Amino acid sequence: MEQEVQENRLLNDIEGLSQSNAVPTTIIQPSRGLLSLKLGELWQYRELLYFLTWRDVKIRYKQAVLGFLWAFIQPFLKMVVFSVVFGGLAKIDSEGFPYPIFLYAGLLPWQFFADAVNRSGQSIVAEANLITKVYFPRLIMPVASVGAALVDFAISFGILIAMMFYYQIIPGVSILMVLPLVSLTILCVLGVGVFVSALNTAYRDFRYALPFLVQIWMYVTPVIYPVTIIPENWRWLMALNPMSGIVDGYRSAILGKPFDWPHLGISLGITTIMFLTGLAYFRKTERYFADIV
């Protein structure tokens, strides 16, 4: 009975509006600026974000004999191979520090960046079934992929701690800069990751080029060599690579060498621009994801 009363009231209201000469009109316009990004929705769907992040972590190591040990083994083996080739054979300068820990201090953030970009770049296409069936902020997909890579980064950080004990490197106050640098790395990863994920949704062949581009990016980043090996008149070009200042900043924080603040400041500025640009492009194209995914 109550439902019938409510329906009758609704019908009367509609009839009253139709008979009125002054019918109110609502104009719906897309949000502009940063409001269109709707970043607050990530907090509203935080439980879904946590679930997808943890699911990605479990799937990565599901039915693997060594399980989470792969998070230790992969960066450790890379460090050993690079140390033999570039430190032992090529004799690359390590600024007075043992080359293995000098290398690993740069390899650790780079491995996080590379894994997160590759995962987030495939995130939208990989979740095609979910995207076409239910609404949720599409931005959650690449963010969850970055969160899963961050878990691997935290696990791999244990190798760095063990190496610092082995080489008797006592961390100073500069080690506190690791947390801001991790935040800056996440910002850089998200800027690239959300842009690539939207691009890969429209152009599927981009997924084949992405690993190659990330590999090339590593060699133009001072991961296996110091920034000082670049001639001074060309270092401005190196500074345009945001990961260059970030990797060098990690080495300064971990090994206690002086920070190159201008270089780090340029990385912060370029990273911020990349982050806002990536979000804007993602927001512009996400309305078509369900149709083209």
Q: What is the distance between the alpha carbons of residues 175 and 180, in angstroms, rounded to a whole number?
A: 10
pTM score, whole prediction: 0.82
How does pLDDT run across 241-250, given as a tens digit for each residue? 999 999 999 9
Q: What is the distance between the alpha carbons of residues 86 and 74, in angstroms, rounded to a whole number?
A: 18
Can you read off the two tokens belonging to residue 40? 């607050």
Q: List the one residue out of 217, 230, 219 whose CA is nearest residue 93.
A: 230
In order of 3, 77, 93, 160, the CA distances from 84 in angstroms are 77, 11, 13, 18
What secondary structure letter does DSSP report for 117?
H
How does pLDDT run across 76-134, given as a tens digit for each residue? 888 889 888 888 888 888 888 999 999 999 999 999 999 999 988 888 887 777 777 77
pLDDT of residue 293: 61
3-class secondary structure per residue, 229-270: HCCHHHHHHHHCCHHHHHHHHHHHHHHCCCCCHHHHHHHHHH
Tokens 């050993």 correspond to 80
> Where are the chain's structural domains?
35-287
